[in-house]
Amino acid sequence: MTVCRRNAHPLNPRADRATVAAGFVTGMLSGLGARGRDPAPLLREAGIPHAVLNDRRARVPVAAYVTLYNGVVHALGDEGFGLFSAPLRPGTFEFLCRVTAGSPSLGEALERAARFLALVLPDLAVTVSRARGLARLEIAERRRLGRRPQDPRRVFAFEWLLRLLHGLACWLAGRAIALHSVRFPFPRPPHARDYARVYTEHSSFDGATLLAVFDAALLDLPVVRDPSEVDAFLEGAPGRISILYRRDREMVRRVRELLARDLAAPASLEAAARALRVSPRTLHRRLAEEGSGLRAIRQELRRVQALARLGNTRRRIADIAADLGYSEPSAFFRAFHSWTGESPSAYRKRVRRAR
């Protein structure tokens, strides 16, 4: 893994595609440094040159960022990166997912998340409200996180928690949740241009609290995930979650839309590349840069569609398997069991009993 060329200008779209600004890396490592821990071994393991920490223009591939994220959590035994008065023990994010999966609506899921975080993260308070057609997700300090508003530990704490909650909300709803605007409670950081990719183009600074605003109707969306899906979501977590639903994962979105038109049709890199008017090599590279691949995207679509059709229709399981492109029902059974730990028929019976 390598960092994009140091002489690449931050506005160069080819340099910026599916990469992470150095400011997010230094913020992530700030708690480690405050505890006197040397970040060098973790940077080496992630394939990130140490010089990134002194180069605001440097960019890190998302895969390297995910490796570093998980490495810091493991080294500190803290999913909060050593930023808070008490550690978030490994497994905290898993329990957050299990608490919210199966909620009747996205609004209820976020309320559950806020109550859970109040127990494990007392330094920050999360509230969710709605007014005049807008939803407001607010994060406020209960305990000052830094001596200065622009303290890297404080900045990253807000960046991280908003990213975590936004990514979780998108997963729970099974769709991207567009943020109308976000007001951050610190001065504009050097890497603020990346906020358009990660959060929204409409970011402002120096607020009293963090305030994210989006369409209130989204709070009424049904949660399409249930606890049986948490294990698959957590593969590579918590670091992998930090790159999901980024606004710059354009090729992943295009491929997902292409495959979703007909999951029964054979899928190949060559056919997808022709449809998207790029070379197979370019398509493979772009998907890899965005942390995914053709097979992974297709399998995720199949899984989501399988759960929806089994839970919401009376269509025969063999017909659902054919709709999703499985030549034999037995192949569908094996895939479904790997996703959920149960057979399609057992899943359908359980969902119907719960209603």
Q: Residue 244 has what pLDDT? A: 58
Is residue 157 located within the same domain as residue 261?
no
Residue 227 domain-assigned (yes or no) = no
Domain final residue pick, 176, 201, 220: 220
How do residues 259-285 score in pLDDT, each as one tens digit?
988 888 888 999 999 999 999 998 998
Q: Which residues contact 118 (CB under 8 A, 6 or more apart)?
A: 125, 126
Residue 158 lies in a domain: yes
pLDDT band at 325 (very low <50, low <70, confident <90, very high): very high
- pLDDT for 29 equals 96
Residues 199 and 294 in one domain: no
Phi, psi (deg, nearest 5) at residue 167:
-60, -40
pLDDT at 84: 96
Last residue of a domain, one of 202, 220, 238: 220
Phi, psi of 78 (to 5 degrees): -150, 115
Q: Based on the fold, state whether residues 212 and 254 are members of the same structural domain.
A: no
Q: Are residues 268 and 347 in the same domain?
A: yes
Domain final residue pick, 172, 200, 220: 220
- Looking at residue 10, its pLDDT comes to 34
Q: Average pLDDT for residues 64-88, to the nearest whole number? A: 92
Instruction: Report the C-alpha gap between 148 and 151 in whole angstroms.
Output: 5
User: 10 Å Cβ neighbour count for 118?
Assistant: 14
Is 150 inside a domain boundary?
yes
Report the predicted TM-score, pTM, of the whole model to 2 decimal places. Answer: 0.69
Report pLDDT for 245: 56
Residue 247 above 70 pLDDT?
A: no
Neighbours of 97 (CB within 10 A): 23
209 plus 281 within the same structural domain? no
Same domain, 159 and 99: yes
Copy the structure tokens of residue 210: 């963090």
Counting beta carbons within 10 angstroms of the beta carbon of residue 128, is it exposed (0 to 12), middle (13 to 18) or buried (19 or more)? buried
232 in any annotated domain: no
- Residue 3 pLDDT > 50, yes or no? no
216 and 253 housed in the same domain: no
Residue 68 belongs to domain spanning: 13-220
Same domain, residue pair 31 and 174: yes
Q: What is the DSSP string of 94-139?
A: HHHHHHHTT-SSHHHHHHHHHHHHHHH-TTEEEEEEEETTEEEEEE
Our count of domains for the chain comes to 2
Within this chain, do residues 209 and 295 fall inside the same structural domain, yes or no? no
Q: Is residue 294 part of a domain?
A: yes
In this structure, are 38 and 166 located in the same domain? yes
Which stretch, 54-58, 115-119, 194-198, has highest mean pLDDT?
A: 115-119
For residue 221, pLDDT beyond 80: yes
270: CATH: 1.10.10.60
Say what the pLDDT of residue 292 is.
76
Residue 225 in domain:
no
Tell me: do 179 and 322 sit in the same domain: no
- For residue 277, being part of any structural domain is answered with yes
Answer yes or no: is 2 within a domain. Answer: no
What would the mean pLDDT of 152-176 be, rounded to a whole number?
91
* 150 and 254 part of one domain: no
Q: What is the pLDDT of residues 117-141, one digit of tens each?
A: 999 999 999 999 999 899 999 999 9
